[in-house]
Chain A
Amino acid sequence: MKKKTANLIDILLIFILLLTVAVTVYRSVSIKQLPDTVKNQKIEYTLLIENLDTAFADSIHIGDKLYLSDNAIFCGEVTSMQKSFVRKNVVSNAQIHSHIYPAACDITLKVRLSADISENGFYVGDNTYLNIGKRAELYTSDMAFEALLTAVEHKEG
């Protein structure tokens, strides 16, 4: 009976298989999440875009998909939007008064997403944690902006 010997292609295939398994295991083990993390929850979080030139304000729409600028990670879909003019302080007669500044506006966005959540934030992509108070560079298909995460709300169902 002829003895079967492993050839170079067999060794290469086994090596590739082992490498794939090793990478998969490493990726799943390397995802470190906070201890109180609850998987796959429906959330609605609030983003504040501050001091945006009013010329750009019409470029965000309800239904837009949001992505993190780093690695193009999907961050959910805009469900509501509220615009208000920025207020600026002006000193006159030794007093500070707050006045509407018509050249810029603040936009509050509500965004819906299914994500792993913890007490003060949530995960997007594999291991990117967004917590309340964090500023993030985001984009939609039509616009890029920086926004502050101000609230995370857990949605039932």
Chain B
Amino acid sequence: MNHTPKKRHFNLIDLLILIGILAAVLFAVDYAVGDMLEDKTLDLDCTVRISGVADTNANAFEKGKALSVGNTAETLGKIRELRVTERKEAVFDEETDRFVFVTVPGENTVYVTVRVRASVKTGRYYVGETLLCANTELELLLPFPYEKAEIVSVRKYEPALTGISAVTP
């Protein structure tokens, strides 16, 4: 008997299976690589306030030095702006009958601004696994102890509106 092989047509089910496989592959790639499909990155100016820096360590900060976080081992970026101020706390002054800011002897507050290339996920900014938003603490990698490091400002890079001068008096 002479059998001619039946020509196989590309049908709807094949198409559905292909779409399914494609979706699975895209999902796997996205899961593995991160936000590859979203791929939204932008430049931010991130200002960090480092409290409780001893006088002897306050000069260790320099423009151009990298600022890194310890818990995720990410480098945020290079320091572009820097301001060292005496640490001040609000205390009640009975003489003037109001709260006043007084200097804490021997301690400094350091403001540093770094330019960061961040990715955007669910409306938030990240460098690797490090979340960048104001009112969050960072565990900075510094060669000396400090009390606390907090992000005080995260802004899209705009020369006139960002940096220390925009967030400190």
Contact = CB atoms under 8 A, between A and B. Distances in A.
Interface string A16-59: 10000000000000000000000000000000000011011011
A56 B92 contact: no
Interface residues of B, number: 31
A99 B92 CA distance: 9
Interface string A57-75: 0110000010100001000
B152 A56 contact: yes
A156 interface: no
A7 B50 CA distance: 66
A78 to B, nearest CB: 13
Contacts of A52: 135
Q: Is the interface of A mostly helix, strand, loop or mixed?
A: strand
B18 to A, nearest CB: 12
Given A59-B135, A99-B99, A142-B154, A92 B94 contact: yes
B99 A72 contact: no
Interface in B97-136: 97-99, 101, 120, 122-125, 131, 133-136
Given A101-B99, A102-B90, A55 B49 contact: yes
Contacts, number: 77
Interface of B: 13, 16-17, 20, 49, 89-90, 92, 94, 97-99, 101, 120, 122-125, 131, 133-136, 150, 152-155, 166-168
14 contacts: A55-B150, A55-B167, A55-B168, A58-B153, A58-B166, A58-B167, A59-B133, A59-B154, A65-B123, A67-B123, A103-B99, A140-B123, A143-B134, A143-B154
